[in-house]
Chain A
Amino acid sequence: MTTVAASPPTTDGPRVSEEDRVRAARRRDRIRTIFWRLAGYAFFLGLWEFASGRLMDETLLPGPVDVFRTFGDLWASGKVPGAFADTLTRIGIGFAIAFVIGAAVGILMQNRWLSGFFRDAVTIGVTTPGLIWALITAIIFGNRPWGPLIAIVLTTFALISVNVAEGIKALPKDLIDMAKAFGVGVVRRNRQIVVPHLAPYLFTGVRFGFSIAWKVTVLTEVFASSSGIGFEMRTATQLFRMDEFLTWILAFYVFALFLEKVVLEVIERRFFAWRDTIKS
């Protein structure tokens, strides 16, 4: 860095070093960022509250205060844990199956003929709206439990396949060949080279796949379930109880966001700390 005196000689006041100035500038930056961030919250929440009372009917768009109050009521009535548990179970099972199938397809796609075979399946899987699968399984399976599960699998498997396929294609062949040449056993080779290389891809697939899976689950529940978040949302909409509707979706949304951002990101940071994250 600079070795020259930071400021021209002044006749008054102590000399301020370069480091102090940088530190002060950084602190100012941080404070400014925090200030604007809080200002954003205040602005948007205020806008919401304002829109609820004045711009739109209160019954149509309940404000944040109403939503919190309704959430308290719902929690007290005990409906929340049951609905959450139902939905989360469905997501868990559906996503697990989707992951297995997706990984299998991804591995199979290393073969040229099979990659041609599965190519359209993956394209369709990625581009079809989850709603379509929800409607098809709803009309075929009605209220039976495997309808939503099939819809979740169909919506999510393609994303995981793509990630797994990309991961396998990018395996460091030279490292593996070197390990083979040095006589390293298959198990140890896989543990030390293949798995750590694939792990970020798998993890990304899990993160994005989970994000899609929970949305599709709620959607299928709207059409074809008698329990769970989606069902509660549909009931609230039909009874035109917008505050309950907003409460359900926001509660679940906050929870899912918490899972995605906090839990998964923490796991990612801890397990991939050994990696220099090149955030592209």
Chain B
Amino acid sequence: MTALAHDTRPRRKRSNPALRALKSPLSGRIAFPLVCLAVWLVAIEIVTAVWPFAVDVLPRPSQVFSFMWDELTGDTLAPYNLYETFGISLKRLGIGMAIAMGIGTVIGLAMGLSKSVNAFFNDWVVAILAMPNLAWALFCSLAFGFGDVGPIVTVVLTGIPFVIINVREGVRNAPTDLYDMARAFGVSRSDSIRHVLLPSLMPFMFAAGRYAFALGWKGLVVAEVFGGEDGAGWTIKFWYDAHRAHGVIGYALFFVLFALLFEKFLLDRLSAYFFRWRPAVSSTDVVEELFEGPPSAATTASAVSDTTTAAQRSLTQVTAGPRSEREGGDDTRRTHDG
């Protein structure tokens, strides 16, 4: 090949780092609230100019944000301030979740271990599963009046079917072969249960807890709206009755923040702690409702937003090694919602 006077190798263009940052998904994420704000302001202008009677009240962003700031600093017109309100609701949620996990685990274990018990309860678990939490909330508010009992019972009723189903799947997926092997090698019964069966059950229990939390919270809010005298749901109803749209929207934003904070951060941390014995998979595993049989995306999204698959992963990891060793792993698929 004749030598050329200049270098004709294809050269890679160095892109502008600022432009690269602008194209990254993170900038998209930041752009979203800004776009929402812009749309909000534009909508107000359009509505007040074109159809003055189309909406009853459309609050300005400044009203909502100043309301939220007042709430955060404890200055409020409602009987309880923001922190007390959420504290009360969380307390009820905690009690309800504990009861739901307790009873649900027992029934789930029984259903997993015995086909007769499964046949006995199954249709009713499905029935309670599909019941809207509005119905429980209205019924409990009428039956138990004001106070803590109504919301707590609603949380229990909304959460229990998911706990039962997840625990049942956990039992069905228990690695009996590992257990047999451990016993065959002379490991004591309690040790075998503790080191083989219980860890295999943990992801399911954790998924059950996450479902109980997410759905229990939704049920709790509805219950408090209809039959409370304090708590987050009641407070948002308070602002609704006072016809203060900025109050309703402000509190709704607090709800969103609360859900994001709790479900994303706290529970992710917790699951990382509980599953630190597991080599690779990143934590938030949610069990599918196997009797429905959909792809994992659907059920996971219906409760929490993670898309990693069920605890089968944990078991296959125990038996067959980390996923990255076995195959290429589809971790690249999950990057969009890590």
A25 sits at the interface (CB 8 A): no
Known: A115-B25, A129-B217, A237-B138. A139 touches B56 (CB 8 A): yes
Known: A211-B130, A215-B134. A279 touches B290 (CB 8 A): yes
From A34, A112, A121, A169, contact of B333 by CB (8 A): A169
Please give, as numbers and ranges, the residues of chain B lying within 8 Å of A118 by CB-CB distance: 28, 32
Please give, as numbers and ranges, the residues of chain B lying within 8 Å of A114 by CB-CB distance: 28
B256 sits at the interface (CB 8 A): yes
Known: A40-B124, A136-B248, A208-B299. A33 touches B33 (CB 8 A): no
Q: Provide a sorted-by-A list of 27 A–B residue pairs whose CB atoms are within 8 angstroms.
A: A36-B120, A40-B124, A41-B123, A56-B143, A60-B143, A61-B143, A114-B28, A119-B28, A124-B256, A126-B301, A128-B256, A130-B218, A139-B248, A159-B301, A162-B305, A163-B297, A201-B297, A205-B298, A208-B301, A218-B134, A233-B134, A240-B142, A242-B142, A246-B139, A249-B135, A253-B135, A280-B310
A218 touches B132 (CB 8 A): yes
B248 touches A115 (CB 8 A): no
The 7 residue pairs across chains A and B that have the minimum distance between CB atoms: A116-B25, A116-B28, A117-B28, A215-B132, A166-B297, A36-B119, A204-B294
- In the assembled complex, how far is the CB of residue A210 from the closest CB belonging to chain B, in whole angstroms? 11
B78 sits at the interface (CB 8 A): no
A190 sits at the interface (CB 8 A): no
Known: A61-B143, A165-B336, A170-B333. A159 touches B302 (CB 8 A): yes
Chain B residue at minimal CB-CB distance from A216: B132
Interface size on A, residues (CB 8 A): 81
Task: Kindly supply a per-residue 1/0 record for chain A positions 7-22, scoring 1 wherever the CB is within 8 Å of any chain B CB and 0 otherwise.
Answer: 0000000000000000
B41 sits at the interface (CB 8 A): no
A3 sits at the interface (CB 8 A): no
A40 touches B305 (CB 8 A): no
Please give, as numbers and ranges, the residues of chain A lying within 8 Å of B119 by CB-CB distance: 32-37, 40
Chain A residue at minimal CB-CB distance from B136: A249
B79 sits at the interface (CB 8 A): no
- In the assembled complex, how far is the CB of residue A40 from the closest CB belonging to chain B, in whole angstroms? 4
B301 touches A237 (CB 8 A): no
List residues 78-117 of chain A with CB under 8 A from any CB of chain B. 109, 112-117
Bound Cα distance from A213 to B294, whole angstroms: 18
Please give, as numbers and ranges, the residues of chain A lying within 8 Å of B35 by CB-CB distance: 117
From B25, B130, B264, B294, contact of A253 by CB (8 A): B130
Bound Cα distance from A240 to B237, whole angstroms: 20
A253 touches B33 (CB 8 A): no
A39 sits at the interface (CB 8 A): yes
B222 touches A219 (CB 8 A): yes
B302 touches A208 (CB 8 A): yes
A279 touches B25 (CB 8 A): no
Chain A residue at minimal CB-CB distance from B121: A40
Please give, as numbers and ranges, the residues of chain B lying within 8 Å of A205 by CB-CB distance: 298
Task: Kindly supply a per-residue 1/0 record for chain B positions 112-129, scoring 1 wherever the CB is within 8 Å of any chain A CB and 0 otherwise.
Answer: 000111011111100100
Known: A112-B25, A113-B27, A126-B304. A280 touches B312 (CB 8 A): yes
Task: Kindly supply a per-residue 1/0 record for chain B positions 285-313, scoring 1 wherever the CB is within 8 Å of any chain A CB and 0 otherwise.
Answer: 00010101111111101101101011010
A39 touches B32 (CB 8 A): no
Please give, as numbers and ranges, the residues of chain A lying within 8 Å of B243 by CB-CB distance: 139
Bound Cα distance from A170 to B298, whole angstroms: 14
Known: A116-B27, A242-B142. A277 touches B293 (CB 8 A): yes
From A36, A129, A139, A144, contact of B255 by CB (8 A): A129
Please give, as numbers and ranges, the residues of chain A lying within 8 Å of B142 by CB-CB distance: 60, 237, 240, 242
From B29, B135, B240, B336, contact of A139 by CB (8 A): B240
Please give, as numbers and ranges, the residues of chain B lying within 8 Å of A115 by CB-CB distance: 25, 28, 336
Bound Cα distance from A164 to B336, whole angstroms: 13
Bound Cα distance from A267 to B117, whole angstroms: 30
A121 touches B32 (CB 8 A): yes
List residues 238-257 of chain B with CB under 8 A from any CB of chain A. 240, 243, 245, 248-249, 252, 255-256
- In the assembled complex, how far is the CB of residue A159 from the closest CB belonging to chain B, in whole angstroms? 5
A4 sits at the interface (CB 8 A): no
B24 sits at the interface (CB 8 A): yes
From B54, B214, B293, B309, contact of A127 by CB (8 A): B214
B293 touches A166 (CB 8 A): no
- In the assembled complex, how far is the CB of residue A52 from the closest CB belonging to chain B, in whole angstroms? 12
